């Protein structure tokens, strides 16, 4: 859903409905224009889904999250545990 919304967003942050195919790859270099948070399954470091989360928070934050998930026995995405990740307050919209 993040990919679809961000790929459909215009530079000013507006989204227009219509047909299309999301081709945008979301990662640490992505400037998010419309999505502020994501409810996601937990993912192992190095996976594309983990990299998507880096569009929301820096690597150091994800590393701390990973540590806490491990300490408390959370399971990776395939086993159903989820996290809510909000965009880093340092990130600004264009």
DSSP string, 39-56: EEE---TTSHHHHHHTTT
Instruction: Report the topology of domain 2-86.
Output: QueA-like (3.40.1780)
- Take residue 86 and report the two structure tokens written for it: 């909000």
**pLDDT score recorded for residue 92:** 43
Per-block average pLDDT, block size 10, for the chain (94 residues)?
90 83 90 91 85 92 89 77 80 42
pLDDT score at 38: 93
Do 57 and 83 form a contact (C-beta atoms < 8 A)? no
Q: Centre a 10 Å sphere on the Cβ of residue 7 and count the other Cβ atoms it contains.
A: 15
From CA 81, how far away is CA 11, in angstroms rounded?
A: 34
Instruction: Give dist(CA 10, CA 62) in Å, integer.
Output: 28
As a residue count, the chain comes to 94
């Amino acid at each position: 859903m993040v990919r679809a919304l961000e790929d459909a967003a215009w530079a000013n942050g507006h989204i227009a409905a219509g047909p299309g195919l999301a081709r945008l790859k979301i990662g640490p270099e992505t400037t998010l224009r419309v999505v502020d948070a994501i409810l996601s399954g937990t993912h192992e470091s190095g996976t594309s889904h983990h990299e998507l989360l880096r569009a929301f928070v820096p690597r150091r934050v994800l590393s701390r999250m990973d540590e806490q998930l491990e300490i408390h026995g959370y399971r990776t995405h395939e086993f159903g545990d989820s996290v809510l990740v909000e965009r880093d307050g340092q990130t600004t919209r264009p």
